Amino acid sequence: MAGPITTYFGTVYPAECDHMGHMNVAHYVAKFDHASWNLFFTIGASRESMNEHGYAIAAVEQKLAYKRELMPGDVIEVRSRLLEVRDKAIRFRHEMIHRLSGEIAATSEYVTVSMDRVRRKATPYPGAVLEAARKALAESGEENAR
């Protein structure tokens, strides 16, 4: 994964908009969530991997920045990149792009942890997931692979 990858395509629907006419914050979060699961799938953290290894992924921090309104009918793309990989935590960033203009509509940065499903405590990501994530991070030019 050299540089950001596309993790979501979508359209803003009228039902996702609030009384001011633009996409409501809840739907930004939902679209970023879809992108997050696609990013994790890319590094091997699939539902099957989680079931096999007994872990879950929990977001423990999220920072959102809104840059441009999105209106009904706008077509969007989310591009994602890993920023930091640690044994028990992965930090990444999404950029939501208004496809027609190419402008960034919003960004979201997350810190997630791998969590043991039974003990409900942080646990290392499986080796294959860490290996794929560290490889992707190295290919992106970021330097925070620990």
pLDDT at residue number 140: 79
pLDDT at residue number 3: 75
Residue 123 domain-assigned (yes or no): yes
How many structural domains does the chain have? Answer: 1
For residue 43, what are its two tokens? Answer: 């590094």
Q: Using CA atoms, how far apart are residues 107 and 121, in angstroms rounded to an integer?
A: 28
Q: Using CA atoms, how far apart are residues 86 and 106, in angstroms rounded to an integer?
A: 26
Q: 3-state DSSP call for residue 3?
A: coil
pLDDT at residue number 27: 97
Which domain CATH number covers 14?
A: 3.10.129.10
Residue 37 domain-assigned (yes or no): yes
Domain of 25 in residue numbering reads as 5-140
CA atoms within 13 A on the CB side of 74: 25
pLDDT at residue number 139: 87
For residue 88, what are its two tokens? Answer: 């028990």
Per residue of the chain (146 residues), give pLDDT as tens: 667 999 999 999 999 999 999 999 999 999 999 999 999 999 999 999 999 999 999 999 999 999 999 999 999 999 999 999 999 999 999 999 999 999 999 999 999 999 999 999 999 999 999 999 999 999 877 655 44
Q: What would the pLDDT profile of 9-29 be if each residue is shown by its tens digit?
A: 999 999 999 999 999 999 999
pLDDT at residue number 2: 62
Residue 145 domain-assigned (yes or no): no
Residue 146 domain-assigned (yes or no): no
